[in-house]
Amino acid sequence: MGLIKAAVSAIGSTLHDQWKEAIRCEEMGNDILMMKKTTKNGVISNGSTIIVGQGQCAIIYDNGKVIDATAEEGYYKFDTSSTPSMFEGEFKGMFKEMWERFTYNGASSKQQAVFFFNIKEIINNKFGTPTPVMYDDWSHAIPNQMTGELLPLAVNIKCFGNYTFKLTNPATFMSEIAGMSEVYKKDQLLEQMRSEVMDSFEKVLNELGYVNKIPVRALPSQKAKIKEIMAQDNFDNRIKGRGISIEGFNIESVTLDDASQEKINNYELSSNAYMQQGTMVGAYAQSMKDAANNANGATTGFMGIGMANMASGGVMGGATTAPWQNTSNSSVNNNSSTSDMWECPNCKKQVKGNFCPDCGQKKPEKVFCSNCGKKVENGAKFCPNCGNKLN
């Protein structure tokens, strides 16, 4: 017994009228994963038509055994005298193995039926982390004070989004999940998959953070990378064991818990001198206002500010000094220090002082042109400014 694919030209011809009965499954949409179809008496007559729609796979059962299958859209004639044809489509090699090995003990001894499977990508399946999960954020790396090595900032996040999946092995899906159900919908599956899906996603998150060093705020843009990691590391093996493959995760939102958000805010504040200065100035100004409004008198309040300033080594007193002023002073000092350096004409070392500490060469005296007064380099024979011959 098997299927014979009808020619397209014959579908609308008189041959169509001779087909005894037609078995088909209407559009399965995004909700129905498997549907069982048979005749009123449970027997598929020789010459019956089986119609397979786009994105469908049909498996023919007879007395609990697979007798034929097809994953190619079209019209088929059921012929009891033919051998299994196995129109495999995308399931190369799988149908033959299923025909040789697979039996379903739960089937009636006299039952014949066609099981239709939805092999399209099933979309819009929501997921979310029920509790915050840890993420290694390398965009806010912190140094290890003992080794000097940079370490990621550990933050706790909640992720929400959706994922897609496909039925990649209909026979396994039927034996492990759907059984001989008249209809099996995705809502029945999602509850069973919940823990496996989140386990796979958390493993992917670990790879994104610690290995790929993706910033926590860039996670929603990593759809392609998530799919790549899932495929490389087989994080969905448990799900594949049920005949299902996770096709992709789409992260719609990432939320930091309060403690993690505070960590990042403090990190970014401490890495910017101007923001630090602004915070100190704001705090200083507020303390001045609070002191002026002190219920025990302004003098008491200002005394408190003075004591705080002394205890902090004058930090409050310097709060109103702009950081760029300090930078400017440092720059001047650095330039001054650099200008004292000179190159030893003997050993070419950059040295400071009147004698080279390596060879003892005396610092060359400055030479000026007697005509124009311009400084010239030692050893020059003529002034580069006026051309005067030098002694």
* Architecture (CATH level 2) of domain 121-260: 2-Layer Sandwich (3.30)
242: DSSP letter: T
pLDDT tens-digit map of 365-388: 777 787 777 877 777 778 888 878
Please name the residues in contact with 185: beta carbons below 8 A apart, sequence gap of 6 or more.
31, 32, 33
Q: Cα–Cα distance between 255 and 278 in angstroms, integer?
A: 27
Residues 6 or more apart whose CB falls under 8 angstroms from that of 169 comprise 91, 94, 243
- Indicate whether 305 pLDDT > 90: no
With H, G, I as helix, E, B as strand and everything else as coil, classify residue 150.
strand
Say whether pLDDT at 327 is over 60: no
Q: What is the pLDDT of residues 194-203, one digit of tens each?
A: 888 888 889 9
pLDDT score at 206: 92
Instruction: Say if residues 235 and 241 touch (Cβ distance below 8 Å).
Output: no
pLDDT at site 287: 66
As a whole number, the mean pLDDT across the chain is: 78
What residues does each domain of the chain span? 22-101+110-118, 121-260, 356-386
Whole-number pLDDT of residue 15: 45
Residue 34, helix vs strand vs coil: strand
Q: How, if at all, do strands 56-62 and 22-24 pair? A: unpaired
Whether the pLDDT of residue 311 is over 70: the answer is no
CA distance 47 to 60: 14
pLDDT on residue 243: 92
Q: What are the structure tokens assigned to 231, written together?
A: 């495929």
Helix (H, G, I), strand (E, B) or coil at 307: helix
pLDDT attached to residue 260: 93
According to the model, what pLDDT value does residue 350 have? 86
Q: Which two tokens stand for residue 56?
A: 């469908």
- In the structure, what pLDDT confidence band is assigned to residue 11 with cuts at 50, 70 and 90? very low
- The residue written with tokens 């400014």 in the block is 385
Confidence of residue 130 (pLDDT cuts 50, 70, 90): confident
pTM for this model (two decimals): 0.61
Give the model's confidence band at 107: pLDDT under 50 very low, under 70 low, under 90 confident, else very high: very low
| Closest to 51 measured CA to CA, from 70, 35, 64, 67 | 70
CB 256 within 8 A of CB 155: yes
How many angstroms separate the CA atoms of 132 and 11, rounded? 57
Residue type, 133: V
- According to DSSP, residue 93 is labeled T
- pLDDT at position 209 is 94
Residue bearing tokens 């092999």 = 119
Angle at which helices 323-339 and 273-292 cross, to 10°: 130
Cα atoms in the 13 Å half-sphere on the side-chain side of 318:
10
